[in-house]
Amino acid sequence: MTVQSGASMGLAALAISLLATSAHGAVVALPSYNVSVSEVSVSGFSSGAHMAAQMHFAYSKTVKKGAGIVAGGPVYCSQGSVSISVGPCMRDNGSRNLPYLLSVVNTWSGNGYIDPTSNMAASKVYLLSGTIDSTVKQPVMNDLHSMYGNYLPTANISYKNNLTAEHSIPTDFFGSGCSVNSSPYVNNCNFDTAGEILKWIYGLLSAKNVSTLGGSFVNFDQAAFWGNRNPNTHGMASSGYAYVPAACAAGQSCRLHVAFHGCTQNVASVGTAFYQNAGYNRWADTNKIVVLYPQATSTFNNPGGCWDWWGYDDANFPGKSGGQMVAIKTMIDKIVGGNVAAPFSCSSWYSSNYSHVTAGRAYVGANGQVYAVNSNQYLGYYMTTAYTDVRRTSAGYYAYGRCS
């Protein structure tokens, strides 16, 4: 989670981004695939680890299979404060007040800010913290381990905390030495983190492909998932990536795994290092798993291109109403929409908030304020003269904006 200035990204980062994009052709609309709605999982490293945990807790009805967290911390660890995020939540220089964080999560679970935590009971969680990680100290991950223990059976949690690894996602074939703490934060530790995550979450898998991959990479449009807004001004890049095994492209029944990069680990910073070499694709190729690699980007408040886990873009960053959270959830809806059980058909309406409420697309909260059903995104006041775009991306799920 090293913080870098915007200038340090510069022309070199732009060149990396252009090369990576040109390698896979023009940006296209994210396709739908025959992915079961019960076979969705997430994982992430560093800021992506926080994002993955946020997604697992907030959307436990959607992320049913589980999560893999590498060098992260408890949900809402930052409490919306950048000083807490880089202090107790990384350097371990103060208490994270885990009892308070648990009470907040329980409150959110009860009031609909996140899905009920009871949904997570059947999911599986894999945690990894390197013993020499000098960026996110191991006690921070210990608290996440304790947090998950309040919602999942002990048998469903695996915690790898004895690997002598620095701040990185460890692989068994690519990257710097295991004791290195620098870009691209993908280290060769003779340990297959991606494989261990996927095997723990999905159970017995076929052997990974260590030769030429048989699938393809898709460079997809992320702006389509932001309604009327520009993702670049909200910490997300204009496009993201997905690895699609040939069997999934051909319409066979598949699974979906969403992998979140860390700070300064997006394509603009490290090119293909994460989305091609973190190890997921090797397993995905032989086990019919579509891997989604969303991309964050730099902003004035977020020069390192981190995912929003302290509120640099949205005060509702850990909830179902958070902008980045809604965008990723809608990507998942689009991908699984190719399954007969969850056909994707985005519909949108430009109407008064009064009409949205009457039609069941929104509800009235405190002080006459209107929120989209399920995402809980704020739409304005309950008035016939207040007009808003609202879109439905899956059954019963509404968010701000138009369909692309």
- Site of tokens 């898709």: 218
Contacts of 346 (CB under 8 A, 6+ apart): 334, 391, 392, 393, 403, 404
Alpha carbon separation from 173 to 93, 116, 396 (Å, rounded): 34, 39, 43
- CA dist., res. 81 & res. 119, Å (int): 28
Closest CA to 218 of 290, 267, 282: 290
The pair phi, psi for residue 124, each rounded to 5°, is -120, 145
Specify the DSSP element, H or E, that contains 52. Answer: helix 47-58
Q: Which residues are catalytic?
A: 46, 133, 167
Beta strands in 283-386 (DSSP E): 289-293, 347-352, 362-364, 369-372, 378-381
DSSP per-residue letters across 221-236: ESGGGSTTS-GGGGTB
Three-state DSSP state, 29: coil
- CA dist., res. 39 & res. 56, Å (int): 13
Instruction: Decide: 62 and 366 in contact? Cβ < 8 Å.
Output: no
